Amino acid sequence: MTDLRTYIEAGQFSVSNLLFDHYAALGLTQTEFLTYPFLDQWQSKHHQAPDLKVLATQMNVAPNVIYSAIETLIQKKAMVLESIPDNQGRMRDYYDLSSLLEKVSSRGQANNTAMVQPNTDAQTNVFNQIEIEFGRPLSPIEQEMIRDWLNTDHYLPEVILLALREAVLNSAYSLKYMDRILLNWERRHLKTAQQVQADIKRHQEL
């Protein structure tokens, strides 16, 4: 009974299912998505500016992970950093999260069925899989490098994931290592996952 009372008295905090359904289509990584509810919950309970070190402890990540996630969320226009006066008239930082909700709502209103575009979903999966294999969130510079692979170099997401697999097999958890692999495949005109896999198999049989 005590546990149930404690549970009830702790209150509830909800996150719209639209966020779960469409955060990948909005270009958010898992770390960025997880930062959003923690930040929202903090601001619903506190009047002072968010203590990012406390948030980092709650999320069980390093403080720089929170700093990087918030920076990229602002860059992606998923939220806005503002300064507002508190009860004593002192200015404090406040993160306006309404822009992300507006984006999610517009997607839900436009189509209540599957809103995730395959290409966007595949690209977001690249970010998530690299974070999982590296065992840490990507820095803003690393995220920019991956975006360049996708949008400037036009590497296919599945080819990047094959480069990730090769890096992991060699215990090389580095985007620079992956970049060398991708450049090598590009020079040898291996552009699709099928071509890369055939080449890998051919070398294994030698």
Kindly give the parts of the chain with pLDDT less than 50.
1, 110-118
Predicted confidence at residue 113, as pLDDT, reads 39
Which structure tokens are listed for 24? 């990948």
Nearest to 140 by CA among 23, 29, 19: 29
Residue 113 has what DSSP assignment? S
Q: Which residues of 80-102 are buried (b: 16+ CB within 10 A; e: fewer)?
A: eeeeeeeeeeeeeebbebeebbe
Nearest to 156 by CA among 126, 178, 201, 115: 126
Residue 115 is predicted with a pLDDT of 38
Q: What is the pLDDT of residue 5?
A: 66
- Predicted local distance difference test score (pLDDT) of residue 105: 67
pLDDT of residue 180: 96
CA 19 to chain centre: 13
Residue 111 CA: distances (Å) to CA of 115, 142, 180: 6, 33, 41
Q: How far is CA 190 from CA 89, 182, 186, 204, 205, in A?
A: 62, 9, 6, 17, 18
Q: What is the pLDDT of residue 193?
A: 92
